[in-house]
């Protein structure tokens, strides 16, 4: 177990980033939860099945570092939460995946996370300009500093998706809601931290100021070894 939840009285945040090389053996036998197997049966494309197994296996590995028994359920807003049957074991979590990366945030309360693999084929700047208010003006200011436009845009998009996961709004609902988009841009109800490399950008969002206590970067083969 990575953390003694009963002894953790203060707010805390752990981030896990699991990487897949593409050569690992990924099969249905890795799934432990009956609900995961039911969801897998509804997925048709082989690639999508592999992605689902990778993400759920990574999630269950991470959660097992904190909890021995749990169920994942969704509330009215379809935001997933953990049910443990033990008031001393309340934690919040969030999951995001992009290509061969899966990021999982675990915290003492609500949290949202998003990860985006750097993809030069996607016009991420154009997407941000379309949906994020006044993003073109932000870019004008950015150009004066000579900063990387693609990296800047990827960070903002990650922050937006992490914000929607924090509150369980759903991305489509937020980008078409002027009030919520303004709240996001003004950081009225959320605070973010960024974890990035040359291969990906990851954003973490919470309702109050916070620090990240631990960042664990592990290969998927480590998860397989423990399964």
Output the pLDDT for position 84: 80
DSSP 226: H
Output the pLDDT for position 9: 59
C-alpha to C-alpha distance for 150 and 156, rounded to whole angstroms: 10
C-alpha to C-alpha distance for 198 and 215, rounded to whole angstroms: 17
Output the pLDDT for position 80: 84
Q: Where are the alpha helices (DSSP H) in the chain?
A: 34-41, 46-63, 124-131, 135-145, 149-167, 171-175, 178-185, 220-226
List the pLDDT tens digit at each of the 227 positions of the chain. 566 665 565 789 999 999 998 778 888 999 988 888 999 999 999 999 999 999 999 999 999 999 888 888 876 566 788 888 766 567 899 999 999 999 999 999 999 999 999 888 899 999 999 999 999 988 988 775 656 889 999 999 999 999 999 999 889 989 999 999 998 998 888 999 999 999 999 999 999 999 999 999 999 999 998 87
Output the pLDDT for position 119: 84
Which tokens belong to 8? 């953790």
Environment class of residue 155 by beta-carbon count within 10 Å: exposed (0-12), middle (13-18) or buried (19+)? buried
Q: Are 66 and 88 contacting, i.e. CB atoms less than 8 angstroms apart?
A: no
Output the pLDDT for position 87: 60
pTM, entire model: 0.90
Output the pLDDT for position 75: 63
Q: Are 152 and 143 contacting, i.e. CB atoms less than 8 angstroms apart?
A: no
Dihedral of CA atoms 176, 113, 128, 135 in degrees, nearest 10, equals 90
* Sign of the alpha-carbon dihedral angle for 81, 85, 89, 90: positive
Output the pLDDT for position 5: 63
* Sign of the alpha-carbon dihedral angle for 187, 18, 98, 66: negative
C-alpha to C-alpha distance for 187 and 103, rounded to whole angstroms: 22
Domain boundaries defined on the chain: 5-226
């Amino acid at each position: 177990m990575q953390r003694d939840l009963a002894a953790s009285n203060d707010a805390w945040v752990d981030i896990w980033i699991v990487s897949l090389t593409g050569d690992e053996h990924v099969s249905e036998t890795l799934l432990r939860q009956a609900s995961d197997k039911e969801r897998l049966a509804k997925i048709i494309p082989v690639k999508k099945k592999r992605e689902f197994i990778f993400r759920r296996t990574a999630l269950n590995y991470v959660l097992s570092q904190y909890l021995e028994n749990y169920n994942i359920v969704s509330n009215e807003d379809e935001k997933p939460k953990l049910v443990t049957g033990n008031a001393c074991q309340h934690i919040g979590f969030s999951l995001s995946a992009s290509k061969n990366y899966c990021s999982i945030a675990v915290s003492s309360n609500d949290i949202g996370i998003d990860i985006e693999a750097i993809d030069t084929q996607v016009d991420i700047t154009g997407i941000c300009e379309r949906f994020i208010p006044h993003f073109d003006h932000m870019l004008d200011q950015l150009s004066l500093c000579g900063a990387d436009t693609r990296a800047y845009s990827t960070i903002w998009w990650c922050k937006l998706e992490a914000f929607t996961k924090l509150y369980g709004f759903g991305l489509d609902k937020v980008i078409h809601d002027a009030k919520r988009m303004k709240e996001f841009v003004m950081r009225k109800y959320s605070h973010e931290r960024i974890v990035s490399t040359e291969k990906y950008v990851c954003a973490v969002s919470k309702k109050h100021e916070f620090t990240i206590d631990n960042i664990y970067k592990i290969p998927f083969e480590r998860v397989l070894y423990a399964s």
